[in-house]
Amino acid sequence: MMAAYQGTELELFATAKNWKSYVAASLRPYISGRVLDVGAGIGGNIRYLANATVTQWTALEPDARLAATIEETLGTDQPPPVDCTVINGTIEDIAPRTTFDTILYMDVLEHIADDQREVAAAARLLAPGGCLVVLAPAHQYLFSPFDTAVGHHRRYSLPALRALTPVNARTELCRLMDSVGFLASLANRAILRQSDPTERQIRIWDRLMVRASRLLDPVAGYEIGKSALMVWRASQTPDLVVADV
């Protein structure tokens, strides 16, 4: 993943405040302590995901141009939302004995060819009891020209994410989100087949669909949605092999 990012959607989705707030509310119990944000992009998620229990944030971004943008993005908030260190690199550039209480893959894992190896490498950096969080696009049958355009290798089902569960970790949260957006994605696949959403479409989705999904997702039991959310928690005793539950 040490290459220039080929997508152009980061700035566009940075305006999706309702979606980012919805995701942040779902993840608040699992983000704390020392955080590693893998594939941090332009840093657009940091101000939403950082909370009072976070002590240090490491933004890991393989694209040098995007990495340089993160500090500029955080600089627009005074004071900055968190003490943040930016590293231009991949998970392999993190010192082996470094540990984190939270590791985030926010719409990142689908860009990585060998996702199983990536998850295993990340799990080795988790502190005992730490959380590994993955947010990813759901349903391979929704794979569209947009996915191709931004460098996605795949979309995920919940069973596919469960199959990536690291050794010495258990599933803490596993759900689909954005049931209303799921219907819009179906329409795009069947009718529009756009490679890039427009600014107007993002605005309508974020202001109307996400708000509706936030109400309807719990009613649907978080079993319908266009985004998949997985949280694994590492064992408190790393040498003890635990079974996923």
Please, what is the average pLDDT of the chain?
Answer: 89
Higher pLDDT, 128 or 9: 128
The edge-to-edge listing of strands for the beta sheet with 54-60 is 84-87, 54-60, 33-38, 100-106, 126-137, 227-234, 169-177
Tokens representing 242 are: 């635990």
- Mean pLDDT of the 134-158 span: 91
Looking at residue 191, what is its pLDDT?
52
| Residue with the larger pLDDT of the pair 71 and 31 | 31
pLDDT tens for residues 64-74? 999 999 988 78
Q: Rounded to an integer, what distance in angstroms lies between the CA atom of residue 8 and that of residue 87?
A: 21
Which pLDDT does position 81 carry in this prediction?
80
Structure-token pair, residue 108: 């990142």
User: In which band, very low, low, confident or very high, does the pLDDT at 193 lie, cut at 50, 70 and 90?
Assistant: low
Cα angle 210, 69, 194; round to 5? 45
Helices (H), the chain: 10-13, 17-27, 46-49, 64-75, 115-123, 145-149, 158-162, 179-187, 199-204, 210-219
**Per-residue three-class SS string for 169-236:** EEEEEEEEECHHHHHHHHHHHHHHCCCCCCHHHHHHHHHHHHHHHHHHHHHCCCCCCCEEEEEEEECC
pLDDT digits (tens, 9 = 90+) for 73-106: 787 776 778 899 999 999 999 988 899 999 999 9
SS3 category, 110:
helix
Cis-peptide, bond into residue 79, ω within 30° of zero: yes
Residue in the block written with tokens 């996605």: 152
For residue 241, pLDDT beyond 60:
no
More confident residue, 156 or 11: 156
Supply 33's token pair: 């302590």
Digit-coded pLDDT (tens) for 176-192: 999 999 988 887 665 54
Domains and CATH numbers, the chain: 10-234 (3.40.50.150)
Q: Comparing C-alpha atoms, which of 4, 2, 6 is closest to residue 150?
A: 6
Which residues, including other chains, have CB under 8 Å from residue 161's CB and lie 6 or more apart? Answer: 134, 136, 174, 228, 230
pLDDT surpasses 90 at 153:
yes
Q: Per-residue pLDDT for 238 more than 70?
A: no
28-63: buried (b, 16+ CB within 10 Å) or exposed (e) per residue? eebbbbbbbbbbbbbbbbbbbbbeeebeebbbbbbb
What single-letter amino acid sits at 33?
Answer: G
**Percentage above 90 pLDDT, the chain:** 69
